[in-house]
Amino acid sequence: MSEAPGWFDWASAAADAIKGRCGDVPRIAVVLGSGLGDFADTLADAVHIPYQEIPHWPAPTVIGHAGKLVVGSVRGRRVAALSGRVHAYEGHSQDTVVFGVRVMARLGVAHLVLTNAAGGINTSFGEGALMVIDDHINLTGSNPLIGANDDRIGPRFPDMSEVYSRRLGTIADQAAEDTGVAVAHGVYVAVHGPSYETPAEIRAFRTLGADAVGMSTAPEAIAARHAGLEVLGISCITNMAAGVLPQPLVHEEVIETARRVRGSFIALLEAVIARI
């Protein structure tokens, strides 16, 4: 066998360590993208676990990713919030990138909400818009399922015809209507990074049918579906992609925009979780 059984064992060890500290096991998990970690601090009766205290869990190095697991409650529902993620551009393998998702699967989580900060390709989007991901295009150049398959995690050839649950997408629409938070729908294209895309690349992505672009999420969504989790994706459009506006792209703008929409983002997440 390849290293796949090692990842299964490591994810199981991490899940066991979390169970020993969090009490009731959550059925819902949320991965929080760049600048979106404030949601974790709103959970009631929360247990905060720094990633470095969880066996084998990688620590993020990017600004806007706190690097902690918070297990608590939202409107009576137990939730695990992953405040920060690691990316392949930090030098990690795809197995490392999706480690947190696999731990959630081993923990017993059934529903996964993946959030990210993304660049807007669709010119109808404004900065701060929230987009429910209907599908993705994986242009990272890799896949977390490469290598010998471990059947304990999932099947060799998992179906990807509905990566992002239509049921959860409908719930997100209902939550948006009830809270007065506007949401759009679209296709997310994932790239490797860490450099921002060129204007020519953005034009090509638009031709392919992409509405937003980022450097995460697709590998996690693939790993989650491989493990049988139901997935909802939400992008916060923190900046317009290269060439859309006559200005350079900077990470500080991403963080600032995410902070500006924290109230709407948190309200939407809470309403979604209450309905799952």
Q: Which of 87, 111, 136, 226 is catalytic?
A: 87
Considering 251, 256, 267, 274, which one is annotated as catalytic? 251
Instruction: Kindly name the residue from 34, 83, 138, 165 that is annotated as catalytic.
Output: 34
12 included as an active-site residue:
no
How many Cα atoms are found within 13 Å in the side-chain-facing hemisphere of 180? 1
Q: Which of 48, 90, 201, 253 is catalytic?
A: 90
Cα of 182 vs its chain's centroid, Å: 20
Spot the catalytic one: 138, 216, 235, 264: 216
Say which of 66, 117, 224, 242 is annotated catalytic.
117
b/e code 13-52 from CB counts within 10 Å (16+ = b): ebbebbeeebeeebebbbbbbbbbbbbbeebeebebbebe
Catalytic annotation, pick one of 164, 239, 242, 258:
239
- Catalytic residue status for 89: yes
Per the annotation, the verdict on 34 as an active-site residue is yes
Q: Is 216 a catalytic residue?
A: yes
Please pick, among 12, 14, 65, 241, the residue that the annotation labels catalytic: 65
87 is catalytic: yes
Choose, from 89, 142, 185, 256, the residue flagged as catalytic.
89
> Of 104, 176, 210, 215, which residue is the catalytic one?
215
Q: Catalytic positions, please?
A: 34, 65, 87, 89-90, 117, 215-216, 239, 251
